[in-house]
């Protein structure tokens, strides 16, 4: 079975999970004894990542029975003491937990595992996730910081902590964490755009001085430009570029204090703004005629259309 | 010397063909496959760090390298400067060391007594042994049973230089180079069967990485940047020096104009 990689899109997750009973009804691997195993198709590393993906899709779609079956097979292949399988089992238990007490109990079991093996990365991450879902962002942040202390090259964790900081309104820390994530994956255009969003929203909070505001907006414009430079036709990048440059132009108009030296010249910003609007229109025109679309892509298109309508 | 234009004929028993040429080839292929699986069985994956401080020590160096390589494409000058200062002072004071700053200057553990380093060397030795022992055995077997047999005639002429390659173990000066001895056939198989193994076993790593794949989320984190016997402190100091001399430029400078130009907008 070859499964699509996209995980963030609800409709494709649902489609995938609906196929689960069919996929799982085929003979289990490693079900025969030695001479027969030679006749079977050899397992590839992709087989087991597919199982993992199927497991997650089933959990998201609420098909706990199929998810349990996936988990059973993974456990059969790699053993219950494998750290990754432990992480998946934890994910399953969290998903079927019905009350806060259940989650607390799972959290305690994680703590027990971690006392025995302090470097069990999947369980460390599950512990953070459970704290997040128990609505204790402060604890999640401190656990993440502790985790990052010893795993400083985990871009995923840096992004997570950036999101948490952002949700707590600590924008400077969020930007710092995002920069760390970018250092690990310097060409990830979505991270560049996310960085621009963080900078833009820290301006929207409106606590900065006029000069700092200008600098942050200019940085945001640069980040969005970079993300477009890395990925042509990146709708999110153009969207951000348009609103950030618009805001910066307004800010340049109203501010009485002298402008900073490293702000790009006014005409460049206004050209960027016009260019972004034009590109957005173009993208909406071409993409809305195509039929195949996931929900999230459609939502992005609608949002962009709305932005254009508002500014015209 | 073989006289040009005159065909040498040796009457060979066809049984030579069935009882020497085929057995040698088949045995070589089978041992190749056996060796492949033996090395998979014996290989030990790199040990993941067992404590948080050990993991930090390993990854601290990677952090410096990331900063050095990627800073220009991600960071603004001020945030680069603060990171550089932080990392350089931490490297120099030994904050990242596994046993804390106090353990600086202690001699690196002797790789012969350090069990972790010993394991790495054992791994290398196991690989070499898996290569050497079957070869020695098979060569002994061929030497004992088939020494001096001429088993094959190549269908094309060759120059005299190939004589030592094709007729090892046959001490005949006048024999045409086209005749191949059993020992030479062994050597030809030894060096020439790689594509056959690639065909049978697939790309070598396919089976090899299976067990490691589930080991951790990102396999790269498993690898230890410090080889056996290397002093992390020295490498940290070297990295600090690299960072200190590094010149920073930001790719974000002037990205607006660059973007406009690349998209075909004429600047006013």
- CB distance A246 to A295 below 8 Å: no
Q: What is the pLDDT of residues A105-144, one digit of tens each?
A: 999 999 999 998 888 888 999 999 999 988 888 999 999 9
Inter-helix orientation angle A83-96/A100-116, to 10° = 170
Confidence band, pLDDT 50/70/90 cuts, at residue B205: very low
Residue B209 has pLDDT above 50, yes or no: no
CA torsion, ordered A238, A244, A249, A255, to nearest 10 deg: -170
Long-range CB contacts for residues A281-286, cutoff 8 Å, separation at least 24: A281/A308, A283/A233, A283/A235, A283/A238, A284/A308
Residue B84 has pLDDT above 50, yes or no: yes
**A117-186, CATH topology level:** 1.25.40
Rounded-to-integer distance, Cα A208 and Cα A218, Å: 14
Q: What is the pLDDT of residues B231-263, one digit of tens each?
A: 788 888 999 999 999 888 888 888 888 888 888
CB pairs under 8 A between A and B: 114
Q: How many CB atoms lie within 10 A of CB B188?
A: 17
What secondary structure letter does DSSP report for A90?
H
* B163: Cα separation from own chain's centroid: 33
Residue A144: predicted pLDDT: 93
Rounded-to-integer distance, Cα A247 and Cα A206, Å: 12
What is the least distance, in Å, from the CA of B214 to any CA of chain A? 6
Tokens read off for B146: 């088939």
Residue B204: predicted pLDDT: 54
Once rounded to an integer, what is the mean pLDDT over residues A170-186?
A: 92
Residue A251: predicted pLDDT: 83
Please, what is the average pLDDT of chain B? 79
Scan residues 23-52 of B and list those with Cβ closer than 8 Å to A: 48-52
Name the β-bridge partners of B179: B153
Residue A182: predicted pLDDT: 93
Q: Touching check for B266 and chain A: CB below 8 Å?
A: no
Once rounded to an integer, what is the mean pLDDT over residues A20-48?
A: 65
Rounded-to-integer distance, Cα B200 and Cα B130, Å: 19
What secondary structure letter does DSSP report for B179?
E
Closest CA to A123 of A102, A97, A164, A93: A93
Which residues on chain B are in Cβ contact (under 8 Å) with A118? 50-52
Judge: B70–A153 Cβ closer than 8 Å, yes or no: no
Q: What is the pLDDT of residues A71-108, one digit of tens each?
A: 988 888 888 888 889 999 999 999 988 888 999 999 99
Q: What is the pLDDT of residues A20-29, one digit of tens each?
A: 777 777 655 5
Confidence band, pLDDT 50/70/90 cuts, at residue B206: very low
* B93: Cα separation from own chain's centroid: 35
CB burial string B2-12: b at 16+ within 10 A, e below: beeeeeeeeee
Which residues on chain A are in Cβ contact (under 8 Å) with B76? 219
Nearest to A272 among B56, B67, B256 (CB): B256
Q: What is the pLDDT of residues B37-56, one digit of tens each?
A: 887 777 777 677 788 888 88
Nearby residues of A156 by Cβ (< 8 Å), 6 or more positions away: none
- CB distance A102 to A118 below 8 Å: no
Which of residues B3 and A47 earns the better pLDDT score?
Answer: A47
Rounded-to-integer distance, Cα B29 and Cα B8, Å: 32
What is the least distance, in Å, from the CA of A243 to any CA of chain B? 15
Residue A196 has pLDDT above 90, yes or no: yes
Nearest to A151 among B55, B214, B215 (CB): B55
- CB distance B74 to A187 below 8 Å: no
Domain extents in chain A: 117-186, 187-285
Q: What is the pLDDT of residues B104-129, one digit of tens each?
A: 766 556 666 666 667 767 777 877 78
Residue A32: predicted pLDDT: 53
Closest CA to A86 of B222, B3, B216, B237: B216
Q: What is the ipTM of this complex?
A: 0.79
Residue A231 has pLDDT above 60, yes or no: yes
Q: What is the pLDDT of residues B141-180, one digit of tens each?
A: 988 988 888 888 888 888 888 888 888 888 788 888 888 8
Residue A184 has pLDDT above 60, yes or no: yes
């Amino acid at each position: 079975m070859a499964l699509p990689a996209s995980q963030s899109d609800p409709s494709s997750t649902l489609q995938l999970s609906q196929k689960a009973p069919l996929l799982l009804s085929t003979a289990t691997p490693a079900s025969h004894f030695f001479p027969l195993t030679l006749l079977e198709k050899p397992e590839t590393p992709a087989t087991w990542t597919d199982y993992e993906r199927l497991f997650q899709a089933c959990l998201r779609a609420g098909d706990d029975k199929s998810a349990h079956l996936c988990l059973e097979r993974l456990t059969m292949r790699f053993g219950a003491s494998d750290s990754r399988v432990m992480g998946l089992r934890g994910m399953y238990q969290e998903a079927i937990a019905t009350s806060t007490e259940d989650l607390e109990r799972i959290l305690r079991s994680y703590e027990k595992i971690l006392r025995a093996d302090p470097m069990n990365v999947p369980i460390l991450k599950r512990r953070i996730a459970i704290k997040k879902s128990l609505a204790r962002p402060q604890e999640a942040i401190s656990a993440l910081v502790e985790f990052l202390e010893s795993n400083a090259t985990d871009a995923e964790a840096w992004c997570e902590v950036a999101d948490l900081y952002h949700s707590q309104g600590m924008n400077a820390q969020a930007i710092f964490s995002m920069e760390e994530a970018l250092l690990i994956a310097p060409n990830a255009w979505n991270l560049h755009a996310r960085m621009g969003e963080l900078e833009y929203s820290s301006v929207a909070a409106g606590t900065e001085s006029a000069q700092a505001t200008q600098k942050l907006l200019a940085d945001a414009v640069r980040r969005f430009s970079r993300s477009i430079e890395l990925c042509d036709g990146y709708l999110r990048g153009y969207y951000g570029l348009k609103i950030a440059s618009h805001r910066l132009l307004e800010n340049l108009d109203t501010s009485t204090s002298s402008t900073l030296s490293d702000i790009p010249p006014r005409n460049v910003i206004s050209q960027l703004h016009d260019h972004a609007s034009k590109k957005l229109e173009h993208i909406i025109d071409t993409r809305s005629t195509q039929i195949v679309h996931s929900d999230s892509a459609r939502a992005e298109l609608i949002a962009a259309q709305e932005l254009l309508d508002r500014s015209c | 010397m073989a006289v040009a234009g005159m065909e040498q004929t040796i009457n060979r028993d066809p049984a030579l063909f069935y009882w020497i040429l085929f057995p040698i080839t088949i045995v070589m292929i089978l041992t190749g496959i056996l060796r492949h699986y033996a090395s998979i069985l014996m290989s030990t994956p790199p040990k993941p760090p067992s404590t948080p401080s050990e993991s930090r020590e390993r990854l601290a160096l990677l952090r410096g390298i990331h900063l050095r390589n990627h800073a220009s494409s991600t960071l603004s000058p001020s945030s680069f400067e603060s990171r550089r200062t932080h990392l350089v002072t931490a490297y120099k004071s030994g904050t990242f060391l596994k046993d804390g700053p106090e353990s600086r200057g202690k001699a690196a553990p002797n790789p012969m007594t350090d069990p972790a380093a010993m394991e790495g060397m054992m791994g290398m030795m196991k690989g070499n042994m898996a290569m050497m022992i079957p070869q020695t055995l098979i060569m002994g077997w061929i030497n004992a049973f088939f020494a001096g047999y001429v088993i094959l005639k190549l269908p094309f002429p060759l120059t005299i230089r190939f004589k030592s390659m094709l007729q090892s173990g046959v001490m005949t000066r006048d024999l045409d180079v086209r005749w191949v001895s059993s020992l030479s056939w062994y050597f030809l198989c030894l060096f020439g069967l790689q594509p056959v193994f690639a065909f049978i076993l697939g790309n070598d790593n396919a089976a090899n990485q299976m067990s490691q794949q589930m080991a951790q989320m990102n396999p790269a984190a498993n690898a230890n940047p410090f080889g056996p016997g290397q002093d992390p402190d020295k490498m940290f100091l070297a990295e600090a020096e690299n960072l200190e001399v590094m010149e920073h430029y930001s790719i974000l400078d002037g990205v607006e104009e660059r973007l406009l130009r690349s998209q075909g907008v004429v600047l006013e």
